[in-house]
Amino acid sequence: MHNDEFPGWHGTTIIGVKKAGEVVIAGDGQVSLGQTVIKGTARKVRRLSPGGFDVVAGFAGSTADAFTLLERLEAKLEATPGQLARASVELAKDWRTDKYLQKLEAMLIVSDGNELLVITGAGDVLEPEHDVAAIGSGGNYALAAARGLMQSERSAEDIAREAMKIAADICVYTNGNLTIEKINK
């Protein structure tokens, strides 16, 4: 079934904040089907450790699709240890050109503590401006809030938490049940 015919699993907010040698990726726990909350405690932020190399990833979109992409990213990282950007570009190329992967509907925010990247099915690997990235239905709200807080003395985690709180107050597809993963340079 195509998304236009069925409302689908929907709604999340994921944010990545890079500040003072620390990267935090936070995600809410809400999963909605149409206008109904199906689950409020989903974990949409994961730590990957291919070959002892730590990477934190958050996803928005279809959970099954995101897990497929995370497995592919992990394989790319095993093939190119310590090279997150290269592994991300290789994943994006596959995602864009492979007939099966093209159908996957998700977005990823990933970090190794040095780089903060957004990976999309359109073949994009984006390093965000201002060291903040956000995806999902409440992503623009969280992004605006975090951008406004970046000049403060707050830590990356405090900025991410406050931005997610603001997004949850505005976006009906976002809740305040957070999963937070930190990674340092």
State yes or no: 122 annotated in a binding site.
Answer: no
CA within 13 Å, CB half, 123: 5
CB atoms within 10 A of CB 49: 10
Please tell me whether residue 38 adopts helix, strand or coil conformation.
Answer: strand
DSSP sequence for 55-83: EEEEEEE-HHHHHHHHHHHHHHHHHSTT-
Helix residue spans in 121-155 (DSSP H): 139-149
- Identity of residue 185: K
State yes or no: 179 annotated in a binding site.
Answer: no
Compute φ and ψ for 58, nearest 5 degrees: -125, 150
List the catalytic residue out of 12, 36, 80, 97: 12
Active site residue 12: yes
- Partners of 58 in beta bridges: 45, 109
CA within 13 Å, CB half, 182: 12
Q: Tell me the binding residues for Na(+).
A: 168, 171, 174
Q: Tell me the binding residues.
A: 168, 171, 174
Just list the catalytic residues.
12
